[in-house]
Amino acid sequence: MTPHVAEDLNDVTLFERLGGPAGIRRIVDGAVAAHMENALICHRFAPYADQPERVEEIKAHTCDFFAAGSGGPDAYDGRSMRDAHRGMDIDAAEYDAAAGDILRTMDALRYDVETCAAVGEILQSLKPEITHA
């Protein structure tokens, strides 16, 4: 009898590896909390500190985008990253700080190296759409 072998990572979507909606929500909650404490980018989030409904709206859109982009079952129908960040004048250092917060959150939540690397690649692919030239 052959022992049960875990599914090959190629047979499981990133969405599933992230834990579906609940796992993505944990990442987003942790990352937003980290953004609010990150000296390089907290000024972008400080205006929303006393607007929990606006923070929740941002989190919900982020979760939807993250889920769709990681192979989740639902299509994303929100604004493009370029449109959502238009006029914000986000520079590369700020983007890298935000991406770092996401990856550190995933590390703290004990995601495996391959899953973190896959998210890191996605984050790097989005950088030109979000940062100013």
* pLDDT computed for residue 73 by the predictor: 93
7 in any annotated domain: no
The residue ranges of the chain whose pLDDT is under 70 are 1-10, 133
> Tokens 């409904």 appear where?
53
61 is in an annotated binding site: yes
Taking the C-alpha atoms of residue 42 and residue 128, their distance in angstroms, rounded to an integer, is: 21
CA distances for 106 relative to 17, 33, 41, 47, 71, angstroms: 12, 13, 19, 25, 18
What total number of domains does the chain contain?
A: 1
Taking the C-alpha atoms of residue 65 and residue 49, their distance in angstroms, rounded to an integer, is: 22
109 in any annotated domain: yes
85 is in an annotated binding site: yes
* Residue 14 CA neighbour count, 13 Å, CB half: 17
What is the value of pTM for the model shown?
0.88
1 in any annotated domain: no
* pLDDT computed for residue 23 by the predictor: 98
* pLDDT computed for residue 6 by the predictor: 47
Domain of 76, CATH number, reads: 1.10.490.10
